[in-house]
Amino acid sequence: MRKFLVSFGLIFTLALTACTLAAEKDTENPVKIDEKVKEWSLKDTENETHSLKKLREEKKAVVLVFLATQCPGLDDYIERINTLVKDYKEKKVQFVGIHSNKHETIEEIKKYRKKHNFDFPILKDPDNELADYFQARRTPEVFLIDAKNILRYRGAIDDSRKTPETHYLKNMLNLILEGKPIPDKKKKTRAIGCTIKRVRKADLDRTP
Give residue 69's pLDDT.
97
- Is 126 part of a structural domain of the chain? yes
> Do 86 and 132 sit in the same domain of this protein?
yes
Nearest CA to 158 out of 185, 134, 193 is that of: 193
Give residue 204's pLDDT.
53
CATH of the domain at 184: 3.40.30.10
- How far apart CA 102 and CA 45 sit, in angstroms, is 15
> Do 42 and 80 sit in the same domain of this protein?
yes
The secondary element (H helix, E strand) that includes residue 177 is helix 168-177
- How far apart CA 182 and CA 186 sit, in angstroms, is 7
CA 153 to chain centre: 11
Single pTM value for the model: 0.84
**Counted domains in the chain:** 2
**What are the residue ranges in the chain where pLDDT is below 50?**
3-26, 202, 206-208
> Do 80 and 100 sit in the same domain of this protein?
yes
- Is 200 part of a structural domain of the chain? no
> Do 1 and 54 sit in the same domain of this protein?
no
- Is 187 part of a structural domain of the chain? yes
**Residue 192 in contact with residue 175, Cβ under 8 Å?**
no
> Do 13 and 81 sit in the same domain of this protein?
no
- How far apart CA 92 and CA 43 sit, in angstroms, is 22
For 112-140, give the DSSP string.
Answer: HHHHHT--S-EEE-TTSHHHHHHT--EES
Nearest CA to 144 out of 80, 87, 187, 111 is that of: 187
**Residue 153 in contact with residue 41, Cβ under 8 Å?**
no
Beta-carbon contacts of 102 under 8 Å, excluding residues fewer than 6 positions away, are 128, 197, 198, 199
Structural domain boundaries, residue 20: 1-30
> Do 3 and 103 sit in the same domain of this protein?
no
Give residue 199's pLDDT.
85
- How far apart CA 208 and CA 204 sit, in angstroms, is 11
Give residue 203's pLDDT.
53
